[in-house]
Amino acid sequence: MPNENTISRRGLFMKLGILFNGLVAAAIAVPIVRFLLSSVTRGRAGAYLSWVPLGHVSEFPEGETRLAAFRNPYVTPTDGKTVETACWVRRVAGEQFQVFAINCAHLGCPVRWFPQSGLFMCPCHGGAYYRDGSRASGPPERGLFEYPYKVQDGMVTIQAGELPTPGSPTASVFGNKAPCGARNELVSIESKLSASSETNSWLRKTKT
Please give the Cα distance from 21 to 191 (Å, whole number).
62
Do 95 and 57 contact (CB within 8 A), yes or no? yes
For another protein, the closer CB: 126 or 154: 126
Encoded one letter per residue, x for contact with another protein by CB under 8 A and - for no contact, window 10-29 reads --------------------
Tell me which residues in 105-164 interact with another protein (CB under 8 A).
106-112, 114, 116-119, 121-126, 128, 130-131, 136-141, 161-163
In the complex, the smallest distance separating the C-beta of residue 80 from another protein, rounded to whole angstroms, is: 3
For another protein, the closer CB: 118 or 150: 118
Looking at 9-17, 26-34, 36-44, 179-187, which segment touches another protein (CB under 8 A)? 36-44
Tell me which residues in 86-105 interact with another protein (CB under 8 A).
86, 102-103
Give the contacts of 101 (CB within 8 A, at least 6 positions apart).
87, 144, 145, 146, 147, 164
In the complex, the smallest distance separating the C-beta of residue 14 from another protein, rounded to whole angstroms, is: 27
In the complex, the smallest distance separating the C-beta of residue 49 from another protein, rounded to whole angstroms, is: 8
| Residue 97 backbone phi and psi in degrees, to 5 | -125, 165
CA atoms 163, 167, 172, 177: torsion sign? positive
Q: Is 59 in the site for another protein (CB under 8 A)?
A: no
Do 76 and 55 contact (CB within 8 A), yes or no? no
Please give the Cα distance from 101 to 110 (Å, whole number).
9
Give the contacts of 29 (CB within 8 A, at least 6 positions apart).
none
Looking at 5-13, 91-99, 147-155, 190-198, which segment touches another protein (CB under 8 A)? 190-198
Please give the Cα distance from 69 to 176 (Å, whole number).
20
In the complex, the smallest distance separating the C-beta of residue 141 from another protein, rounded to whole angstroms, is: 5
Q: How many residues bind another protein (CB under 8 A)?
A: 69
**Measured CA distances, 167 to 45, 125, 152, 172, 173 (Å):** 17, 19, 30, 7, 10
| Nearest residue to 107 (alpha-carbon basis) of 90, 126, 88 | 126
Site residues, another protein (CB under 8 A): 36-37, 39-40, 43, 48, 67, 69, 72, 74-86, 102-103, 106-112, 114, 116-119, 121-126, 128, 130-131, 136-141, 161-163, 165-169, 194-195, 198-200, 202-203, 205-207
